[in-house]
Amino acid sequence: MINICKIRKFPDWHYFVYYLSKQDRGKWLNVWFQEEDCLYKGKKYSPNNYCTLKEVDKESMFHLYGRRFNPVSIFIINSYKKENPFSMKVMIHSVDDSSYGIWFDFPLEGLECRRLLIMKWISERSIINGEKLLDYCESLGGEDRDYN
């Protein structure tokens, strides 16, 4: 099950999560937040950016500057490649310049389908491992692991 909040927005400044109290952290944990719908060639498509707050395991935590709770985002952006006008990135953010990320290049419909599968995979886990997330994304066609 994917829990998507349609009332609140996840701030563009993801790093606010590192300053949340334990009580406030629960308001953001395991809930997906979205941005507004976007237009492409005059047609509305689903929101291009989803974010949540997740707990990571100890192995992943060390790569993320020792932070146990980190923002996870999945965003679709305009691509520079002519064959696919969009690209998608899945990313576990960190407080500094390290992260777990991976890129997808497919037509928009393929990206939206993969995004839902990844959101479901993340939502089904109370604690995530960065490398396992990237492995799962590669099984769906993700490429170019990115650690910063």
Residue-averaged pLDDT of the chain? 86
- pLDDT tens digits, residue range 108-133? 889 999 999 999 999 999 999 999 99
What are the C-alpha distances in Å from 11 to residues 16, 28, 86?
Answer: 8, 11, 23
Share of the chain above pLDDT 70, in %: 86
pTM of the model: 0.87
Sign of CA dihedral 121, 129, 102, 70: positive
The 3-state DSSP class for residue 33 equals strand
Gap between the Cα atoms of 43 and 145, Å rounded = 31
Per-residue pLDDT at 1 exceeds 90: no
Mean pLDDT of 76-86: 78
**Per-residue confidence (pLDDT) for residue 97, from 0 to 100:** 76
Amino acid at 69: F
Q: Where are the alpha helices (DSSP H) in the chain?
A: 22-25, 58-63, 108-123, 130-139
β-strands 32-34, 100-104 pairing? unpaired
- pLDDT tens digits, residue range 34-72? 865 555 556 555 557 889 999 999 999 999 988 999 999
Which residues on adjacent β-strands are paired with residue 103? 89, 143
- pLDDT tens digits, residue range 91-108? 999 887 789 999 999 988
**Per-residue confidence (pLDDT) for residue 78, from 0 to 100:** 79
**Closest residue by Cα to residue 73 from 44, 97, 37, 102:** 102
**Per-residue confidence (pLDDT) for residue 12, from 0 to 100:** 64
Of all helices (H) and strands (E), which one includes residue 29?
none
Owning domain of residue 57: 4-146
Gap between the Cα atoms of 72 and 51, Å rounded = 6
Question: Sorting pLDDT into bands at 50, 70 and 90, what band is 18?
Answer: confident
Give the chain's end-to-end CA distance (angstroms, integer). Answer: 30
109 touches 43 (CB < 8 A) = no
* Total tally of structural domains belonging to the chain: 1
**Per-residue confidence (pLDDT) for residue 129, from 0 to 100:** 98
Question: Six-digit token pair at 89?
Answer: 């990135």
